[in-house]
Amino acid sequence: MQDENSIATDVRFDFTGKTVFVTGASRGIGREIALAFARDGASLILSARSIEALASVAAEIRDMGGEAVCLGLDQRDLGAIRSQIAPLGPIDVLVNNAGVEAVRDSLDVDEALWDKIVDTNLKGAFFVAQAVAAKMAEAQRGSIINLASLTSYVGVPGAVPYSASKSGVLGMTRAMAAEWAPKGIRVNAIAPGYFETDLTSVFYEDKDWVAKMIANIPAGRMGDLPDLTAAVRFLASSGANYIFGHCIVIDGGYLAKI
């Protein structure tokens, strides 16, 4: 009998015949989400600032027998967002994942850093969602999952621009859900806790840091990426058809304990 607390590696959904657009899909969380949807039968549209960076992800999807279209898309470029998304066909699911982060004392944050983070994580996410929602509205159906953060809920020193952007994503998710529900579009979000990716692996090299974090997680372990991808696919599935404007915090109980 499988341990009910084991990592969700065997969770499956059926997205055969569906088109899923994942932004920031070249690495980390975005890459894992894209591959999980591909294993569930979806056709993928992948975007990242560098189209070359998407090549290995697209190759893995095609090796599974799936389909993948790649877009070189900088979320700070509104013109590129509109010109590249408009020609695409119907989109069933958008995972609004692309984002950037930097740790810097708030007294040292300059306008360039603020604009880079907020324009990518919040402004860009909004305009990508807007462009995709226009297509979904025509079909009167669709699911958008935005990437929020634990910093949408709690303050983290050294992450003021990032926290501002991700708090905005949470508010944006709720407002979009309320406005777009009559158009058949479900908008929700996830807020990941601590997951090891190529972007965060440097932190995991510090065993004392890992032990300290686990001591504050009621589940007694760090997150594993299948825990996260299962939640995203649930929100995109018909099983979540009556869920609008919510954010699933995937953190092993970390925020609940604070």
Catalytic residues: 162
Paired strand residues for 43: 19
Please count the residues of the chain.
258
Q: How far is CA 241 from CA 100, 115, 185, 191, 192, in A?
A: 30, 35, 10, 20, 22
| Sign of the CA dihedral with 52 first, then 57, 63, and 64 last | negative
| DSSP 8-class letter at 124 | I
CA dist., res. 16 & res. 128, Å (int): 24
Instruction: Give the Cα separation of 106 and 203 in Å (integer).
Output: 21
The whole-angstrom separation of Cα 41 and Cα 65 is 9
Residues 6+ apart with CB under 8 A from 112: none
Place of tokens 């995203």: 232
The span from the CA of 243 to the CA of 229, in Å, is: 17
